[in-house]
Structure 1
Amino acid sequence: MFKTRFIKMVVGTCLVLVGTQFYAGASETTADDSKINRVLDDLHDAASKAQKDRYLALFTEDGVFMGTDDWERWTRPDEFDAYVETGFNKGGWTYFPVERHIQYSPDGNTAWFDEITESPKWGRFRGTGVLIRHADNWKVAHYALSFLVPNEAWEQVSKMSTKAFETRKNK
C-alpha cells in the first residue's frame, strides 16, 4: 500500500513538473493564465491526495461538477461536497493534465477552459469548465468531465452505451 502511494506520488510530481514546463513554454502566457493553471493543477493535486477541504476551496460556493454519467450533476455545497467526501474516503481520484486551453470574457472576470487529462486507472478524459475571478483569485464555477473516445472505437462504445441506457430504462 505504501509502495503504491509512493509510486503514485512520484509519478504525479513528475507529471506536474512536466506540465508546468509545458504551460510555462506556451507563448503569450498571461499572469491570469498562470493563476488559472495553478488553480486547475491544485484541483487535480488535491483530488489525488484526497484533500477535501483544499479541493472544495477551489470551487465557488455554488459550483457545479458534471461527471461522466448522464445523472452525474452535483451542485455545491450539498450534493457535490457529499460526493467528494465519499470519493475521498476511498482515496480520491487521480488525473494528470496533458494539454490545456484558456479563454477569457471581454471584461476578464470569467474564463473558460478545456483540458485533456489522463488517469492511470481510467485513461484519457476531457475536462471543460468555467472559472470566475474573486478579487485577485480564480475559482471553479463549473467543471465537466467526459471520456475521450477515439473515432475508431466510437461504434463499439456507442453500442455498449446504448445497451446500458436501455437496460437502465427497463429496470
Structure 2
Amino acid sequence: METLRANRDCELQIAVSDIPSPSSWTYVGPDGTGATRFTTPNLQAVSVANNRYARYKATLTNGTNDQSPTVSEVHMSHAGQNGSSLRLYDYDAAGNRVKRTVKDDTGTVLTQTLDDASWSAGDRINDLNQIKRRDVNDGTNTYNYFYSWDSNGSMTQRVKKLGGVTQETIDYT
C-alpha cells in the first residue's frame, strides 16, 4: 500500500480456508478478528490457521468523494516447508502467454520467455492451425518442441530437443 492523501484510506482484511470455495469466508485484520483491518503501508504479519487458500478484501474510502484510492499490489506469503511465490504473466495481442516471471520468498526472480517468434511462420503452424514447433526458453536453455498430428487432428507425438539432441519423445498412439 502507499501513503494516501488526507481523507482517503485503504484498509485490507484477509480470509483463509482449507477448500477453494467455502460457503463463506471470515475476513480478519492483524489481531485475527473481524474488528480490525490492515491500514499501514508497512508489512504486517498475522497468524492464522494453516490453510491452503486465501483471499483479501479491500475497503477504499474517500472523505471528499472526488477520487478513490487504488490498490496496486498486495503481497501474501507464508511460513512453512513450501515457500510462496508471485507469478506474473505477459500475453501478446492475440492472448497467447509469452512470458512468465516467478519471484519467490528469497527474492529470486526467474523469467521464462516463451516462444515469441511469429506464430504464423510455416515451420511453426500447419494448414490446420496445429502447432508444429514451439521454442521455450527457461532462462538457461532453449528447448524445441516438435508436434506430429494424424489426419483426424489428434496429436500423435511430441519430441523435446535441446541443441538438436532429443531429450524426450512421447508417443500418443
Q: Same fold (TM over 0.5)?
A: no
- Shorter-chain TM-score bucket reads under 0.3
- Greater Rg over alpha carbons, structure: 2
Higher relative contact order (CA 8 A, sep 6+): 1
TM-score when normalising by structure 1: 0.23
Name the TM-score, length of structure 2 as normaliser.
0.23
Q: Which has the higher strand share?
A: 2
Greater helix percent: which structure? 1
